[in-house]
């Protein structure tokens, strides 16, 4: 798996081009192989080392420190700082060696112990460094033109250590391209302090005959260009990719341990650096940068799982990609391995469940757990005709129709009919799979899907294993089993690597992932006798389908480009461990910390529920979010029908998104009061509508969001009117809303309460409505008068008054 990579000519992928000529002293990663053409007088190619030739598998250099044994990352950083301070105070040097650092890290250790610790760090660097292929191609072209190639690096390694690291991390062929190493630790100063003056003295070349390239503008341009050397700043990433990677690193630290292994794993950095600047279409760029790494990493894991299944069970492993969400995993595999056979299998939850009723007991068991859901699609699942459904579910009342369906399904004749229809559907499903791959006894059927509980496998595993005499295995991107099925199921992200709360957080927000991976065909509802799928109508709008194709193009571009971006020696880390962490971090970031340009691409997307219904939900709808947050705070997001809550939170600050993220990731059981650490008093005069009696109380208004407060003003059973005395304490107030609702709804924080509430009008006295929302309270006695709603029964009612004080009196 980690065999040395042979040097080969650099190849551009279809659809990507090299732009010629530097811009503002900068070179983009994909332009590196052409950089020598811009400076034809060059005789010496000078390169920075880290993040120019050698890149790391992690977000930042310090993310390697947790992988070092017998120390904490903080101890390693402190030792570096102390060593530099001591060298500056004692010898006037800003640069130190790794030996000096470890002398401060392990002052009581023997030289042999410190040498062993240094060796462990160098081993970790060798495991997690690789050569960036475009830089290697630049070096290869330089040598082909007879140029010398040198490395000039600000590093605490000495020249011998750095050469050995390049050889181990990138391979001997790459190291052989380099004539000489210059390191700051040997000269006591870094490039910005004049290291390159020493380099020029030791080179038999004039400054204008040298081209130096590096990723640090201050060091590699500012510290060298004034000497007359041609310089180019390697701009690894544009600001959008930089922000994405930064947020992915932060997300990784929330879901992975930060001790004992590399943190913030990002093996996709090189591919994004090369490909992202060349993609101008926002939708394709989103696919390339967000979903490309996820599905490419998933495919690598599937390759290894297929190999293991073949070894364990023998026979041929058939990859059956479950449509529709398995569409893009299948396409990514076809892009990475065009020679492999892949089989799209159309088996929805609806057909899988329908094919699983082998006995009347199976029918009864399913009804016991499904009763309470929408009775109409449930009746269809039981193979009841539309005519009979209209008769059974005649009232339109969910509870009454569910009870009627339950009574119908208790009839033995109805259960027998369901079993017979189920067995016939199972035969047609078997015909569908036989037509796709014709499995033989002893083969393995590897069902591939995004996840998340393996519902389809739960229902068809026995059907398929008995029909084909094959072993059935489910392999999923994310797996969060709700019960122990005992089936052969694994997830790239599952409970072997992540706690249940983390898996639940990912799976409960996975609709956005499904929206990228689907294909524009209707969900299968049956098959012909020959196994041809019978589908519902296509569910995507033309606009969404067109955008989806552009996103998926970007996903496939990443999959094709990725293998050619990295050159490793024979000491590389296990790539599956790196990709698993990167996939988890990327998904977490996408689901909880989406970026503005990403949401702009998918703003009109709808999600197809796909359970034998035509139900769709907007992926996210931010129009009512601001008002909801002001009324209820983050509890506004508790509505069960929300598909992509983080998308709705966009525009309300990182703090809100991080709070929601932590709540979901750690399963934090907060109440409304836990979020409230600010309150203010609102004087209210109550008017008894029966007696005309007046009484005054002070209502405590609690903070919600963005400076707004909500005051719960009791109305009894609609007996009392309320005069809201804003003028008492405030000169200016912004009024968001006044709604009447049952007191029980408010106390229970019922997500449906806003839909049942009544918007109330108010009459102003001593208060001027400057705009519909902005109130000027010139009179300290000014108030808003709100009469109670019409009484229906003796239910206790209240007013939810949402306002923001702008200026206190």
Mean pLDDT of 467-481: 96
Residue 479 phi, psi (nearest 5)? -130, 125
Q: What angle do CA 396, 400, 401 make, to 5 degrees?
A: 60
Question: How far apart (Å, rounded) are the C-alpha atoms in residues 74 and 259?
Answer: 11
Q: Supply the pLDDT for residue 611.
A: 46
Q: Supply the pLDDT for residue 255.
A: 93
Q: Supply the pLDDT for residue 755.
A: 64
pLDDT-derived band at 7, boundaries 50, 70, 90: very low
Pairing mode of beta strands 720-724, 616-618: unpaired
* Nearest Cα residue to 631 out of 543, 717, 746, 730: 746
pLDDT tens track for 271-289 = 999 999 999 999 999 999 9
Compare 308 and 674 and report the one with higher pLDDT: 308
pLDDT tens track for 674-719 = 777 789 999 999 999 889 899 999 999 999 988 999 999 999 999 9
Q: Supply the pLDDT for residue 229.
A: 95
* Nearest Cα residue to 737 out of 621, 626, 631, 634: 631
DSSP string for residues in 147-209: -EEEEEE--SS-HHHHHHHHHHHH-HHHHHT--EEEEHHHHTS-GGGTHHHHHHHHSSS-GGG
* Nearest Cα residue to 161 out of 82, 71, 54: 54
pLDDT tens track for 144-191 = 999 999 999 999 999 999 999 999 999 999 999 999 999 999 998 999
Please state, for a pLDDT cut of 90, what percent of the chain lies above it.
72
Model confidence, pTM: 0.90
Question: How far apart (Å, rounded) are the C-alpha atoms in residues 687 and 774?
Answer: 25
Beta bridge partners of 611: none
Contacts 24+ apart (CB under 8 A), 743-752: 743/712, 743/714, 743/795, 743/796, 743/797, 743/798, 744/795, 744/796, 746/712, 746/798, 746/800, 749/632, 749/635, 749/638, 749/672, 751/638, 751/639, 751/640, 752/639
Residue 732 tokens, joined: 């200016």
Mean pLDDT of 236-258: 94
Q: Supply the pLDDT for residue 450.
A: 95
Beta bridge partners of 346: 323
* Nearest Cα residue to 629 out of 737, 724, 512: 737
pLDDT-derived band at 739, boundaries 50, 70, 90: very high
pLDDT-derived band at 373, boundaries 50, 70, 90: confident
CB 122 within 8 A of CB 165: yes
Q: Supply the pLDDT for residue 633.
A: 81
Mean pLDDT of 248-277: 93
In 3-state terms, what secondary structure has residue 808?
strand
Q: Supply the pLDDT for residue 370.
A: 86
In the predicted structure, residue 792 carries a pLDDT above the cut 60:
yes
pLDDT tens track for 346-356 = 999 999 999 99
* Nearest Cα residue to 727 out of 657, 777, 772: 777
Residue 618 tokens, joined: 């907007």
Q: Determine the angle formed by the axes of helices 292-313 and 327-336, rounding to 10 degrees.
A: 80
Q: Supply the pLDDT for residue 470.
A: 96
Q: Supply the pLDDT for residue 637.
A: 66
Residue 573 phi, psi (nearest 5)? -70, 165
Return the CA Rg of the chain.
Answer: 33
pLDDT tens track for 73-127 = 999 999 999 999 999 888 888 899 999 999 999 999 999 999 999 999 999 999 9
In the predicted structure, residue 807 carries a pLDDT above the cut 50:
yes
Q: Supply the pLDDT for residue 648.
A: 83
């Amino acid at each position: 798996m980690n065999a040395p990579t042979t040097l080969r000519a650099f190849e551009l992928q279809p659809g990507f081009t090299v732009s010629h000529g530097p811009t503002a002293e900068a070179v983009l990663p994909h332009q590196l192989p052409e950089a020598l053409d811009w400076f034809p007088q060059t005789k010496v190619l000078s390169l920075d080392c880290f993040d120019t030739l050698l890149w790391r598998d992690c977000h930042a250099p310090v993310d390697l420190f947790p992988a070092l044994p017998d120390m904490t990352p903080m101890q390693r950083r402190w030792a570096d700082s102390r060593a530099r301070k001591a060298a500056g105070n004692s010898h006037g040097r800003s640069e130190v060696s790794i030996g000096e650092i470890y002398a401060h890290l392990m002052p009581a250790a023997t030289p042999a112990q410190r040498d062993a610790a240094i060796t462990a760090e160098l081993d970790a660097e060798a495991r997690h460094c690789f050569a960036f292929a475009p830089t290697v191609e630049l070096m290869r072209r330089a040598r082909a033109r007879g140029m010398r190639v040198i490395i000039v690096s600000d590093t605490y390694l000495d020249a011998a250590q750095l050469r050995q690291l390049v050889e181990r991390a990138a391979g001997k062929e790459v190291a052989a391209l380099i004539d000489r190493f210059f390191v700051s630790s040997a000269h006591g100063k870094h490039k910005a302090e004049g290291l390159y003056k020493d380099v020029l003295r030791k080179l038999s070349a004039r400054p204008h005959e040298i081209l130096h390239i590096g990723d640090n503008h201050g060091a590699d341009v500012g510290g060298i260009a004034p000497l007359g050397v041609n310089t180019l700043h390697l701009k690894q990433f544009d600001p959008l990719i930089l922000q994405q990677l930064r947020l992915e690193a932060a997300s990784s630290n929330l879901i992975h341990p930060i001790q004992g292994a590399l943190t913030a794993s990002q093996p996709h950095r090189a591919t994004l650096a090369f490909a992202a600047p060349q993609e101008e279409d926002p939708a394709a760029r989103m696919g390339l940068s967000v979903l490309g790494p996820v599905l490419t990493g998933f495919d690598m894991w599937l390759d290894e799982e297929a190999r293991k299944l073949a070894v364990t069970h023998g026979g041929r492993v058939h990859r059956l990609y479950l449509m529709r969400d398995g569409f893009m995993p299948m396409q990514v595999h076809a892009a990475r391995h065009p020679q492999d056979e892949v089989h799209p299998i159309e088996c929805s939850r609806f057909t899988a469940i329908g094919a699983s009723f082998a006995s009347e007991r199976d029918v009864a068991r399913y009804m016991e757990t499904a009763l309470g859901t929408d009775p109409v699609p449930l009746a269809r699942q039981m193979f009841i005709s539309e005519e009979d459904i209209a008769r059974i579910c005649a009232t339109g009342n969910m509870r009454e129709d569910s009870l009627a369906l339950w009574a119908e399904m208790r009839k033995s004749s109805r259960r027998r009919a369901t079993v017979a229809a189920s067995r016939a559907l199972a035969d047609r499903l078997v015909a569908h799979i036989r037509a796709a791959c014709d499995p033989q006894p002893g083969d393995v059927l590897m069902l591939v899907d995004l996840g998340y509980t393996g519902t389809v496998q739960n229902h068809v595993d026995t059907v398929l294993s008995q029909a084909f005499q094959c072993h059935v295995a489910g392999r999923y991107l994310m797996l969060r089993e709700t019960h122990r099925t005992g089936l052969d199921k694994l997830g790239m992200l599952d409970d072997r690597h992540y706690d249940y709360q983390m898996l639940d957080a990912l799976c409960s927000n996975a609709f956005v992932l499904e929206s990228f991976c689907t294909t524009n065909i209707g969900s299968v509802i049956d098959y012909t006798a020959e196994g041809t799928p019978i589908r519902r109508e296509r569910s995507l709008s033309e606009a969404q389908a067109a955008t989806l194709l552009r996103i998926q193009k970007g996903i496939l571009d990443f999959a094709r480009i990725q293998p050619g971006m990295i050159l490793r020696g024979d000491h590389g880390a296990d790539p599956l461990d790196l990709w698993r962490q990167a996939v988890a971090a990327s998904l977490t970031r996408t689901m909880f910390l989406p970026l503005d340009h990403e949401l702009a691409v998918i703003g009109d997307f709808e999600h197809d529920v796909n359970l034998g219904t035509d139900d769709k939900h907007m992926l996210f709808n931010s129009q009512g979010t601001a008002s909801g947050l002001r009324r209820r705070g983050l509890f506004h997001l508790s509505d069960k029908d929300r598909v992509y809550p983080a998308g709705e939170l966009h525009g309300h600050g990182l703090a809100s998104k991080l709070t929601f993220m932590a709540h979901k990731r750690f399963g934090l059981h907060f109440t409304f009061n836990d979020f409230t650490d600010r309150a203010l008093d609102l004087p209210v005069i109550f008017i008894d509508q029966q007696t005309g009696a007046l009484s005054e109380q002070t209502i405590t208004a609690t903070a919600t969001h963005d400076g707004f407060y909500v005051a719960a003003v009791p109305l009894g059973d609609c007996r009392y009117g309320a005069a809201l005395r804003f003028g008492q304490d405030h000169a200016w107030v912004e009024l968001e809303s006044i709604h009447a609702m049952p007191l029980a709804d408010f106390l229970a924080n019922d997500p449906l309460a806003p839909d049942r509430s009544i918007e109330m009008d108010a009459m102003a006295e001593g208060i001027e409505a400057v705009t519909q929302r902005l109130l000027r309270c010139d009179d300290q006695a000014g108030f808003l008068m709100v009469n109670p709603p019409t009484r229906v029964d003796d239910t206790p009612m209240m007013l939810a008054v949402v306002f923001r004080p702008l200026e206190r009196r």
